[in-house]
Amino acid sequence: MRVLILALGTRGDFELFVVLARALAARGHHVTLASSGFYERAARAAALEFLALGQGTHGQLLAVLRAMNGTADRIERTRMFATRWLQPQLAQAREMLSAAGAGSDYFVSNLKLVLQQGGEVLPGAFVTYDPPAAVEELARYGSRRHGGRILELVALPRRLADPDGSWGEEFHFTGFWHAATPPKTPEPGLAQFVAAGPPPIVLTLGSMLSADVEALLGRFAEALAASGQRGVVVAGWSRPILVPPHLCLVQEADYDWLFARAACVVHHGGVGTLAAVLRAGKPSILLPQIYAQALFARWLEREGLTAGVFEAADLTPGDLASAMRRAVEDRALLRRAAAWSDGLRGERGADVAAELIEQHWQHPGHDGGTVRP
């Protein structure tokens, strides 16, 4: 099967579909991953064929994310990202996507698009990995009107996203998509810092450029001092100039390695980071930047897995210190986090998705198979 995968967005969006692409390639399928050109090196490093889409640069994407700092409304931030980045890049890429689709057997989209081939909808899959504001929104993209040629995949555990079964039987929950690879060896400075004392509080910035990063680092350092904790900062796409002393700052880190050795993780609530925190069995302190991340935060609050949820711009060192103390001292919270880790052990979300895609491709008149997560 020749599979074309569209993954436009931030690094978290791209990396999620790298996992699926590799799972399909391992099963003998020819996979092309289509995304912004600045992700090509990462795709090649994963031994994937790559199709560069749009004309946007990494710097332009960063500028869009920084511009979101001008509004506190998470729905407006989401709209800004769509109108200023996703829609222009997609408009530039439509002809190239159509041409690539003409030579493909199956199309997977992170933006819920369909491609035509020979007057028919090319068999494919819509992937949901950010929660909808309401169950009713799930029908917005109309996959049902394509006569079963579009498979609905949800790259989340059902018990987190849909515990009451309200999404509908056409949605196939696979669990989180995670590459089952050994953790990467950390850089020596990070390994030495972690080993030199009690488990640290980890702050991951990821693509969280819609926050004032240096102000956030200052508050994080003050909260650590007030709560008697040590801290690690994973800068990701951020390049902070002023870094408070006594923080261990690294640009990148293997989340599976680091989170397993952390006391708690402060993060924005992107699906990849969220999944890694839950796998590690650690409490979260959440700083959601867009609406979907705020919904993830509500789900974690429902499950009793958070020590606090804050707006980054309004966060005070005192509030953050209180949340840190709760994350370290609240035994019920720690037990719930550990139980979720146990429940996710052995999860094979990307393989389940690959099997469902294979079944759907073989029988594109219905919406998928019955593979168990």
185-215 pLDDT, tens per residue?
Answer: 888 999 999 999 999 999 998 876 656 788 8
Same domain, 22 and 147: yes
- Same domain membership, residue 352 and residue 219: no
Q: What is the pLDDT of residue 299?
A: 96
Lowest-confidence pick of 125-129, 153-157, 235-239:
235-239
Q: Which residue has the tokens 């369909």?
A: 114
Output the DSSP codes for 176-238.
Answer: ------PPPPPPHHHHHHHHTSSPPEEEE-TT-TTS-HHHHHHHHHHHHHHHT--EEEE-TT-
**pLDDT above 70: residue 82:** yes
Q: Do 169 and 207 belong to one domain?
A: no
The proportion of the chain whose per-residue pLDDT surpasses 70, expressed as a percent, equals: 96
Same domain, 319 and 357: no
pLDDT, residue 210, reads: 58
Same domain flag for 49 and 92: yes
Q: Percentage of the chain with pLDDT > 90?
A: 73
Q: Are residues 50 and 147 in the same domain?
A: yes
pLDDT of residue 317: 96
- 223 and 205 co-located in one domain: yes
- Is 292 within a domain? yes
Q: Is the pLDDT of residue 372 over 50?
A: no
- Find the farthest-apart pair of alpha carbons in the chain and give their distance in angstroms, rounded: 65
Is it the case that residue 371 has pLDDT exceeding 60? no
Give the Å distances, CA to CA, from 194 to 199, 203, 329. 7, 14, 19
For helices 271-280 and 331-344, give the axis angle rounded to 10 degrees: 100
Q: 164 and 199 in one domain?
A: no
Whether 129 is in a domain gets the answer: yes
Question: Do 151 and 6 sit in the same domain of this protein?
Answer: yes
- The H or E element spanning position 51 is strand 49-53
Given a cut of 90, whether residue 68 has pLDDT beyond it is: no
Sort 300 into a burial class: Cβ within 10 Å, 0-12 / 13-18 / 19+: buried
300 & 356 share domain: no
pLDDT value of position 137: 80
Tell me the pairing of strands 124-128 and 120-121: unpaired
- Verify that 152 and 229 share a domain, yes or no: no
Q: Report yes or no on 288 lying in a domain.
A: yes
Is residue 372 in some structural domain? no
Summarize pLDDT for 313-345 with one digit per residue, the tens: 889 999 999 999 999 999 999 999 999 999 998
Write out the DSSP string of 320-356. HHHHHHHHHH-HHHHHHHHHHHHHHTT--HHHHHHHH
Total tally of structural domains belonging to the chain: 2
- Full-model pTM: 0.91
Q: Which domain holds residue 235?
A: 188-344
What confidence category does residue 237 fall into, taking pLDDT thresholds of 50, 70 and 90? confident
Q: Compute the distance between CA of residue 318 and CA of residue 173 in angstroms, rounded to an integer.
A: 39
199 and 306 part of one domain: yes
CATH of the domain at 44: 3.40.50.2000
